[in-house]
Amino acid sequence: MTKLPIAYWRLGELKGPTAFDATKHGHDGTYHGTPTYGEVGAIKGDPNTAIKLGGYRSYIEVPSSKGFSQPTSGQGLTVEVWVRPDVLVFEGETGDPYIHWLGKGDTGQYEWALRFYSEESTRPNRISAYIWNPAGSLGAGAYFQDKLEPEEWIHVVACYAPGDETDPGAGVSIYKNGVLRGGPATQHGALYSAFDIVPAHGAAPLRFGTRDLKSFLIGGLDEVAIYPRVLTPAEIMDNYQTGIFARCRGGGIWRFLVCVWAAAYRLLARRFHRSFGG
């Protein structure tokens, strides 16, 4: 909360229908379908729980707000979430299957979304952050693509820089577990100019578990936050490490040491990326 999100949903409700916004801004959402409440969350040891979505027609919907759109603040937009993919092979929106598992946009008013490809696709289990023109079609996107394990929590942060196609270098960046994995410096398709992107605010609601009801996540969601600016790499790492060290508490000395090693490794990886652009 110290980083002043425009909205923050902990998703720790034990029943519906309301998914409460923990900020003072009142962006409460509504649970739809048959979510499973009270799941063990991403931050182990935290009594606040998570939500499990079972796929078809299970999602959370939040009414549209200008604060959820990239152009509004003039400082860009950051979307932060812990996601737990429970199934890695699934049907999707196209023959090369993927789902949109969190986003804002619908016909004629597309904005941004997070995408996840099936393991049985040409981009096995790639996780991407996209932004579109209102009409849709091809969008600018950044991604990471790793071997994943089912039922494993992943911290994902998407940063949408301020500007549009006329701003050299402006685009989308994506972080996995605190480390920058893709962005305009290393992925040409992340540039707004690569696809003539001029983002605009639209009336479509914000949804978790889907974007426009055409595909749905099977898995867990926790700690969703939206910020009216681009978080710095240090802020993103801080948020991730806060969650990691909370998960390490109560696990004994060996678990704690493993967590410390993992956090140090990711910090070095981030510094290497900044130094060499890898």
Average pLDDT of the residues in 143-158: 97
Whole-angstrom distance, CA of residue 121 vs CA of residue 129? 17
Number of H helices, E strands in the chain: 2, 16
- pTM equals 0.88
Whole-angstrom distance, CA of residue 14 vs CA of residue 4? 26
In a domain, 190, yes or no: yes
- Whether pLDDT at 255 is above 50: no
**CATH classification at residue 268:** 2.60.120.200
144-169 exposure pattern, b = at least 16 Cβ within 10 A, e = fewer = beeebeeeebbbbbbbbbbbbbeeee
In a domain, 95, yes or no: yes
Number of residues in the chain: 278
Q: At what angle do helices 233-248 and 252-276 cross, to 10 degrees?
A: 170
In a domain, 2, yes or no: no
Residue 94 is predicted with a pLDDT of 92
* Share above pLDDT 70 across residues of the chain, in percent, rounded to a whole number: 87
In a domain, 231, yes or no: yes
With beta carbons less than 8 A apart as the criterion, state whether 219 and 89 touch. no
In a domain, 1, yes or no: no
Which CA distances in Å does 239 have to 145, 166, 194?
22, 32, 31
DSSP 253: H
Domain housing 33: 7-276
Q: N- to C-terminal Cα distance for the chain? A: 31
Total structural domains in the chain?
1
In a domain, 136, yes or no: yes
122 CB burial (10 A radius; 0-12, 13-18, 19+): exposed
With beta carbons less than 8 A apart as the criterion, state whether 116 and 85 touch. yes
In a domain, 87, yes or no: yes
In a domain, 144, yes or no: yes
The tens digit of pLDDT for each residue in 12-44 reads 999 999 999 999 999 999 999 999 999 999 997
The tens digit of pLDDT for each residue in 81-135 reads 999 999 999 999 999 999 999 999 999 999 999 999 999 999 999 999 999 999 9
